[in-house]
Structures are given as structure tokens and as C-alpha cells.
Structure 1
Amino acid sequence: YYRTEEEIMAAANELRDKDFPADVITFDGRAWQDTPTRYNFEWDPSRYPDPARVVSQLKALDFKVCCWEYPLVSVNNKDFEAMSAKGWFLKDQYGDTLRYAWDTSAKTSPFGNVLTPLPVSGIIDFTHPDAYAYWRDKHNELFAVGVDVMKVDFGEQVPAEAVAYNGESGRLLHNVYPMLYNQCVYEASAGFHGDQACVWGRAGWTGSHRYPLQWGGDPQSDWEGLAGSIRGGLSWGMSGAPYHSTDVGGFYGKEQPSGELYLRWVQASIFSSHFRIHGIGMREPWCFGPEIEQLARAQFKFRYRLIPYLMGAVEEAVRTSQPVMRAMAMAFPADVIARQFETQFMCGPSLLVAPVLQAGGKVKVWLPEGDWYHLWSGQHYQGNQLLELSADLEQIPVFGRGGHALPLGPEVSHTGQISADALINELVCFGEVTAPICIWQQALRLQDGQLHSQQQADIVLRQLAEG
């Protein structure tokens, strides 16, 4: 995390100077709050005496700003006793405020190894109408400074013995609690930002898809962490939630991830609905050597070129509930073999993505029935076959579905540079296009519902064919 204003501004400037496209920069938990007294919606005055200034500096670089939160208030916080007296925290079996103590022993918790000890805290009771309204409305102080979105962390800490204002025990409340938490913060965002509302939530439950979006928590920084993140995202999609992200590079780990692992994580994640780099230690792409920096930059740029296609996939998700990342069992329910390949996936309706999950680049890919075209080489493959490939560092295997088309946009540094009247500059056709082309026509639709036409002459057609 960025410890000071100078650190976060240095990272923001370097992203622009090194030509890495990016839209959002995050103040994580220890980056802007005083850990012993958090959470209180207040910037640590010793590091951020003028929060509006640093936020405005980031805005001048065309970044949006995200701030971290969790639904706990330290017993050391100046407002704790007053909030406790009002009954705004979950209670214990005796009717007193439940004081949640973190387990930081190294044997049972990763917190013991890598995080600053966290304070004993009260847990906000979102079943209490006044507590809910207080927490929701306190966000306006941050939004007024210029914060665009909240990272809604934690939400799983509801002990079984807790008792809520509505009478439910922690055992009953545990699953629904993160949904109420996400709902509260989403309503805060919607109240200030209108239809641009969003949260970046960790925990979730049935109904959380109404308060997008969620990321997969804190994976370990190794190959299993990458594989687990993909499985988790696909499982989340099959649970009715269309959007997902992961901590690219992994969160926990005694050492930095290798450059190869980091790059493979980037390559897989650019095909998720949302894309974020995050973790303990250095995660900026220039921290892994010149080769990885160069290759990662190309991936970042391609991610932004995918935006027209992803916009179409997102709109399809809204209409049909099909997630952006689709498990093979969902995309090809009649293909018994495809179900066994639980870490390859469809990105939208047209792209089959086969992440590399081990050092050296070897990967097995199952192609379902039909025609498939290797996105990078253009080579044509018949479906119903298993491929054993060796992917070089530059790319992971990605295949276009026969009869479909892939719209690509121009290279940009951030989404503010995307013009609705020139959204697409290339259309890759996988064989003779027979599938409905609305997936890219809908990408031209602006958020205000206006459909902007684009001259066909402005779009380069790239035809991939058999042979």
C-alpha cells in the first residue's frame, strides 16, 4: 500500500510516464487511516493534512480515486462509546457490545505474519436502521472530497454468538451480513454518484449481484492462488453475479511473486470484467524487470482495446444474466468433456481463454465442437479436440469462436480518452460471421442510452479463415 501522499503520487505519475493505461488508484486500509483507531471515515492527519489536495492531484492525472473501508470501529476510536451507547454494534449474549478481537497468531492466521496488529473493535449492526443510516451517510464526507468508489473490504466477521438488533443470532446473520453491508455502501454511492454508483466488495451472498461488484478476496501469491482465483470467479459467475475481479499477482506471500507468475496472472485477468493489481509488497509492473515490464505493458494496452467487446458482454450480462467470465459447464452444458476443464473459460460469447497455471508455459486446452481460431496466430482448429500447447511469455492461448467477431478499440491511456463516435478501430472476424453482431453494436451505446453510429470505413476488418 502507499504509505504517504508522496508515494501514491509517485506511483500515479510513473503509471502515466511509463505508458501503462489505468483509471483508478486505491488508498488501501493502512494507506490513509490511522490503524489503531480505524474505522472512522477520517484521513490520518499526520500523512494527509489536506486530502482534497492529493485527490485533486490524482484527478489532474485523469485517475479516479478509491478508498478502503471495513465495517468495524476500534474501541480506541473517539466515537466508539457513543455508538455503543446507541446500540449500533452487534451485541454479545449478555446484551453488551460484542468486542471483536482478531486472531493474529501466526499458526492460524496470515494476519500474524504480514499485517499490523488490528485493534479490538465493534461490528456495525446493519439491521439497526439508525446504524445503517449513519454508516451510509458518513460516506458523503469522502465523496465530497472527490472519492469515486469504496473498496468494501471484510464483512465475514460475524461470530456465531453475536446478537443483532433484529433479534437474529450471528449464526443466522452471518451469510446475509455482507450483502447488507454492500447494499449500505452501494446506496451511499448511488445517493452521491447516481447511476455511476459502484462498490468494490469482497464478501457476498445471494442478492449481492444487485450491488456490483465483487473481487475474490486475498489469494496467495503462487500458482495455486492464480488457479483458485479463476475457479472462484467462475463459481461466482454461476451463482448469478456477472462481474468479478481478482488481486492480480496475489495478495499474501512471504516473497514477491516471480515475474512469470505475475505476467500470467495479468494475462488471464485482462479477460475478466474488471482488472486490478493489488497485494502485499511491490505489484507495479516495472518491479519485475525490463522484460516483464514491456510484456505487461502490452497486456495493459490490449485490455483497453478490449473495452468495446467487454461493454457488449456487460450489456449482455444485464439482459441475460450470463456472466462476463463463463465456466465451460455454463457455456457448453452438453459437452461432458468441457466440464472437466475448470480453469479455462469463455470471456463473453466469443473468446475462449486458457490461462497458463504453471511455470514453463505448458497448458492443455479443450476446444468444444465448432471452428476455433487462435487469436494471436490466426491458425484455424476444428473443435472436439484436446490441444497440448506451450505458450511463450508474450501471450496465453486465446481462441475466437467460429462465426463470431471481436471488436477492438484504439490504444488509450484511460477511458476518458475513448470517444463514443470512434469506439472501434478494428473488427476481427473468426471465419464467416453468422452470430448476431449486436455484441459490438451494443458497445456503441452510451450510458445515457444514445446510440452513436460509427462509419464502417473507420474500422479495419481482419478476417481469420480456414487453411
Structure 2
Amino acid sequence: MPSKYDFAHTNQLETVELLTARPSRIDFDAGDGLRLVVEAHAPGVFRLRFGYAHQFADDKLTPRARAVAEMLLARQEAVGEATVAPLGDAAGWRIAQGDTALEVHNDPVRVTLFKGEQRVLESALNEHTPGFGYNALDEANEAVWTAGFALGAQDRVYGLGETPGDLDRRGEDVVSDDPEHRALPLAWSPAGWGVYVNTIRRVQHAPGVAPADDAYIVTVDDTVLDLFLFAGEPGEVLNQYTALTGRAGQPVLWAMGVWLRQADGEMPTQTAALIERLREQQLPLDAVALAQPAAWSFQADKPLLEWDATRFPDAKQMLALFHKHNVHVCASGFPGVLLHTPLFEELEDRGWLLLKDEGGAQVFDGTPASGGKPFGLLDLTHRDAYSLWVERHRQLIEDGLDAPAGDAQPDIPDNVTARGGESGPALRTIYPLLARRALYDAVAGLKVPPEGVAPGADLFPGAQRLPWQTGPAVSNDWDGLQHSLRTALSIGASGIPVQMHNVGSATAPHEAMTPELYLRWLTFGVFSANFCLEGVDRLLPWAFGEETLAHARTWLQWRYRLVPYVLGAIEDAARTGLPVQRSMAMSFPNDPQAHDWDLQYLLGPALLVAPIVRPGQQVQVYLPKGEAWWDLNTGHRYEGGSVWTVECGLGQYPVFGREGHMLCLGPAAQHTGEFNSARILDEVWMFGMPVHNPVVMRNKIRVMQMQGSSYIKGLEGLRILPSEGLEVKRRGAEVRISRAR
């Protein structure tokens, strides 16, 4: 899906003149009726908009334009303050806020972004990159803008959505509305910058793509070029990006437990029997995700949702069947209306379905969700249709459904238009956003604060606002394990806090799934945001022998012990924007050697995980420099900055605690319903002298340092495992950790 941009016919912006300067907004005249508006949007964040003057008048936005703007930005107004000073020789202006600054230069127009005295990002100028330029500009409808930024020879570029390959996206073309690219709109570099393109129109990202190998070129098919530039380390960039575009709400506790995916074609009674067997085998479980096709759809003659009568003749009885085992139910629908039904004709007449330009509703070919039958798509840009979809799902939840799921990213043709006026790339971008947001509104929208999950695999701008992304379909081999891991780390680099990993695939050949691979995959899932078992005998623990089954029981109990910590990391994401699984480049931007170990990751802030991604018990691990690390298997302390070889049997996994941190563990359980909400923690592991407050759900544990000791409040009644060389003394509600004498 190539861009229509033609560099040979680029209109390059040559000069700008200062018009007005306010603390948060500076307006420039760019000639030919164009404006450049620079906002000090937040500390370390500058917003640059190029377009016609009338396009920046907020009071003239149409209601639809305002609604789209709110879909993309959770915070519309600029909250920073800047000062403006001219550069020498009339070369431009320096806009400074705090320790960051943006210089706007003339002849031609270009920018330089500073963090302190360090230049972190600047415009690229060569025959392939005209700084800022536009092509075929039409004030009413059409324009293509370009912006180019220089890349150093060693600069890596992360983000831009999901990839099963190298997390460094340099050298890769990414097109926003191409479903194969699985794109997201944020790019950043450990060099200290981030770029977010704020639009629902088509964006082509070309970081270091030939022939412009030394530039990151952004091409935007929109009448306005709207860029946010971030200065800071990756953690700061993610923090500001998610504060700007929105952060995830709180998932429910049960979603943190083990999930099971129902086998295709299986009846609820068969799945309930499988759950009974899992309980008998003491294999913990909290949720079942019902298989496709959609569990419900519109009735043929009225806009009411009804359960699939073939599979669920009595839906409330079916839900009760699972709930009696303390298992929650997730099931999917899709916003489609089957062709050749009275309701299709009625909604087509109302204009509530996506329409073809030549008239009439667009008919889509059958999908697994529709049971293979052709359908029309409910126009979720229509306020009444959107409200209908939300309200009908709220009724399902009142009936006992625990989580609605759905993926609605069909390949919408360019000749299809929504009520809001969107078509082509804009509609392909916005439709899955609305479909998933409607499900989340249904399950969590009436709760304060919002709490719930609406799983889905679609990617779109703002996807990080909706906790619980499902993982990709994978092969049942070591490559499949790596595929799942890389997608989680890549979407995490793009701001999404959680991906659920599938432990294998029921639809892929299973011969390559050995007992060793199965346990390594399961253990990797334990030390992740979460995972889902496949509900077929050949991919459940008992299929691999008694030894594997025994190890699986142990690791699944570990999952439940980790729930308070992992949920704490998700709560942390709602404050900081950092994902649960954090890549090495994100976590250690100043250690270039760490970036080469791109399959390792931090799980929250305290644990470094080095997944085993090939057969064998010897594993090489790089422990980042500048810190010490404690082996959870042996208690051994390692200095960072070196590669170590560790031995891991099937009952072990290479996980290391970060010095100065604590790991708060809960009790073993068969499901989260067994947790005592008044006593969610059981014991605390310490990695050296505690310095940081621990990450843990509903955290009330505080650490204070004084005279070489740490004083901690909130550990009453917990077993404490200090590192070697430390001793614990309790004084009422306070715990003192000091050097052993």
C-alpha cells in the first residue's frame, strides 16, 4: 500500500514569520495562507501543526471533528508554558520550556529538539527529505504532507505497532491503515526522542528506509500535519504519550488468573466437563473464552441481541454452568447484520449500516465471526447506532456475561462511507477503535473508576486505553513462542500495557510441541502480563506425561502468587504508561549492549526475565550494567554489565530480581475467588537493601531510608525473606532492614 507522495513535486516550506506568542502557543505565518502553530503542550512535549489558519480555530470545529479529536487525544489543551526568543541573524526562534527547547529555523523551515544542552532530534535535509513539505495541497480536501528527521548511524527506532521480527523498526516501511502492518502511531528512540502523528488518515512511516537511509520520513495524507515531538528517555516519552492519548483503566481481578480458550465446535457442557477435569487435577483456572463464531448476533427482525440458539439454547443456564466452578465467561460478538434479513433492510433504510458511495449498504463476505454468512456492518460512527451496540451489550452483562470480546477490523473498501463522513484509510482506522471502545464502555463505562476487560486483537490509535490485548495466532514450535514474545514487546513499546499470550495453537500442527517446549512456554506465560491455555487435550498439561503435569501445577501456582505484583504493574501502567513487559531498549536506554538482547524484558520494574526460546538447560543472560541482580532460583547476586551462563532445569526459569526492589507475593490458589481481599499478600522477597516502594496491587507499602537502614510500613503479618547479609527487626507496624552485624 505505497504512499502517493512524490518528492519530485514537493513544495518545501522555506520561511516562517512570528505572528503571536503566548505562554503555551506560538503562531507563525508560513506563507501562501499557511500557518505553523507550535504549542508547549506539556513538559518535554511540543506540538507542531501545519495548515491553513482557519483549521486551527477550535471554536470552528464541527461536532464530528471535535469527536474525532477526542478519540485521539485524552488531553486536548496545552498545559506547558514556554518562552520565545529570536535566534541570531534572523535565523529563527528558540521556544523553551523547562529543560527542553525547540528551535525553529528558516531557509528552509526545519526544527531542532533539545533536552538540556543535548540535541536529540533535528530535521533532515537532503534530496530525499525536504524538511517540511506538502504536495497537491487543496484547502478543502486533499493534501500530502511530509516531515523528515535525521537518524544517526547507530540510532534505533522502536514502536510503530506490532511486529514478530526485530523490535528495531529501522529499515521497515509501516503504513497505518494496512492491516498487515498492524501499525500504531508512536515512534521513539533510546537517543532521547519520540514522534507521534495525530491523525486518523493514512500515515506512512519510513525510518531509515532506502534511499533515505539516514532519515525517518513521515508522510501524512491529511490537510493538516499534526505532530507531537517528545524529548526524554523512553520511559518519559511513554509517560507523556499516554498522558496525552489516554491510559488503560483497571482490569478486574479475575482476569489476572489463568484463561482457557474453548475448542472450536465444542458445546458448553463439554467445556464444563474439561473445567471439572482441570479442577480435579489441581490446575488453576479463572476464565474461559468461548470459541467463534460469534456467541450472539442481532435477531433477524429487530435490533436485539440473542445468543446463538444452536450452541447456547439457554444462555443463563450456560453461564451458571461455568460460574458454579468459579470460572468467568468471555464471549465475542461482531457488529454485523446478516444479509437477507428484515433487520438488514430496516437498518439500511435508516442509514445505520456502512454505505457504498453509489448507494446501499456495503455487503461483506462471510467471516468466522458471522459463521461464514455475508453481512453489513453497523455504522458505529452514527451516535444512535453506537449507543444501541453499547446498551445491548450491557444487557448481556446483566444476564451474567463477564467480558465481551470482538475483533472488527475488516478490510473496508475505499468506496465505503460512514455517517460521520469517514471513508478509506480514515474509516479503516476509526472503525475498530469504535467497535472495541463500545465493548469496553458496556462492561466498564458505568463503573467509577472504570474496571473491566474487553479483549481483542485489533490495533488502532488509542488502543492503549483499553486493557487486555489478545495475542497472535502462532505455530506450535520454538518460533511460535518467539513470535508471541516479540509481538508483546513491540506493542508494549507502542504504549499498550497488556498482551495475553496463547500457549500454542489448537489450529496449528502440534507435532513440534514437546514436553520441554510446553513447559518453557507455560513458564514464560507465568512471567508475563497473562496467558491463555488451548482447550484441547493435546495442548493441556496432562498430554505430556506426569512429570510435565507436576511441573505445570507448580508453575500455575506461581502465576497466582505473582498476581498481586503483575496487577500492581498494570496499575503502574495507568499512572506511568509503561507496559507490563518492558523491552531492554525501553528499560535501559543508556546501555546499548542491553538493546541487542531484545528477547529479554523487565516484568514490571523489579524482575528481569530471560525467556528460554530454544531447547536446552543452559541459558545465556545479559544483566544490564550499573545494577546488581539476584537469581530467584539460587539467591546468587550478580553484578550487571556482563553475560552469564545459567543452568535451568524444567522446574527453574531465568528470572532475576533488581537490587533495591522487593517482590510481594500472594498465596497459592485455584482461582482468584480464593483470595482474601483483606490479606492479598503472603510474603515478601527482598533483593538487597530495599530502596524503592514495591509495585503491588492496592499498594500501601512504603519504604524510607535512614542512616544506612530501610524502614518499611505495611508489611504486618507477612513473611519476609531478606537477602544474605541483611537482618529484619519488627517494631510494631514498622519493619527495619539493616546490615547484619
TM-score of the two chains, using structure 1 as the length reference: 0.87
Aligned equivalent of 2:469:
214
Q: Percent identity?
A: 32
Root-mean-square deviation (CA, aligned residues, Å) is 3.0
Q: Which runs of 4+ in 1 moved over 6 A?
A: none
**CA shift in 2, pair 1:183/1:32, >3 Å:** closer
Q: Given the alignment, which residue of 453, 460, 465 partners 2:719? A: 460
Which aligned pairs between 1:58-457 and structure 2 lie closer than 5 A? 58-75=322-339, 79-101=343-365, 118-191=372-445, 195-250=450-505, 252-255=507-510, 257-278=513-534, 282-369=538-625, 370-434=627-691, 436-440=692-696, 442-443=698-699, 456=715
Q: Is the 8 A contact 1:247 1:279 kept in 2?
A: no
**CA shift in 2, pair 1:415/1:19, >3 Å:** same
1:43 paired to 2:307: yes
Helix, strand or coil: the match of 2:487?
Answer: helix
**CA shift in 2, pair 1:440/1:116, >3 Å:** closer
Aligned equivalents of 2:457, 2:501: Cα separation in 1: 10
TM superposition shift of 1:406: 0.7
**CA shift in 2, pair 1:465/1:206, >3 Å:** farther
**CA shift in 2, pair 1:120/1:295, >3 Å:** same
Letter in 2 for 1:254: P
**CA shift in 2, pair 1:145/1:441, >3 Å:** closer
Q: Is the 8 A contact 1:252 1:280 kept in 2?
A: no
**CA shift in 2, pair 1:464/1:197, >3 Å:** same
TM superposition shift of 1:42: 2.5
TM superposition shift of 1:211: 2.1
TM superposition shift of 1:7: 0.7
TM superposition shift of 1:252: 4.3
TM superposition shift of 1:454: 9.2
Helix, strand or coil: the match of 2:288?
Answer: strand
1:19 paired to 2:282: yes
Q: 1:368-392 CA distances to partner (integer Å, 9 max, x unpaired)? A: 0221111112122111111234532
1:9 paired to 2:272: yes
Aligned equivalents of 2:685, 2:644: Cα separation in 1: 23
Q: Is the 8 A contact 1:253 1:280 kept in 2?
A: no
TM-score of the two chains, using structure 2 as the length reference: 0.56
TM superposition shift of 1:337: 0.9
How many residues get paired?
A: 448
**CA shift in 2, pair 1:240/1:47, >3 Å:** closer
Q: Which has the larger radius of gyration?
A: 2
**CA shift in 2, pair 1:169/1:29, >3 Å:** same
Aligned equivalents of 1:174, 1:441: Cα separation in 2: 37
TM superposition shift of 1:457: 5.4
Aligned equivalents of 2:426, 2:536: Cα separation in 1: 33
TM superposition shift of 1:347: 0.4
Helix, strand or coil: the match of 1:388?
Answer: strand
Aligned equivalents of 2:347, 2:538: Cα separation in 1: 38
Q: Is the 8 A contact 1:156 1:203 kept in 2?
A: no
Helix, strand or coil: the match of 2:482?
Answer: helix
Aligned equivalents of 1:466, 1:232: Cα separation in 2: 40
Aligned equivalents of 1:311, 1:184: Cα separation in 2: 24
Aligned equivalents of 1:403, 1:368: Cα separation in 2: 15
Q: Tell me, which stretches of 5 or more residues in structure 1 are unaligned?
A: 104-110, 446-452
Letter in 2 for 1:153: D
TM superposition shift of 1:33: 5.5
Q: Is the 8 A contact 2:456 2:468 kept in 1?
A: yes
**CA shift in 2, pair 1:84/1:364, >3 Å:** farther
Aligned equivalent of 2:134:
none
Helix, strand or coil: the match of 2:289?
Answer: strand
Identify the range of structure 1 (118-127 vs 94-103) with the bigger mean alpha-carbon deviation. Answer: 94-103
Aligned equivalents of 1:454, 1:413: Cα separation in 2: 30
Question: Whose helix fraction is larger, Structure 1's or Structure 2's?
Answer: 1
Identify the range of structure 1 (421-430 vs 26-35) with the bigger mean alpha-carbon deviation. Answer: 26-35
Aligned equivalents of 2:694, 2:535: Cα separation in 1: 38
Aligned equivalents of 1:333, 1:173: Cα separation in 2: 36
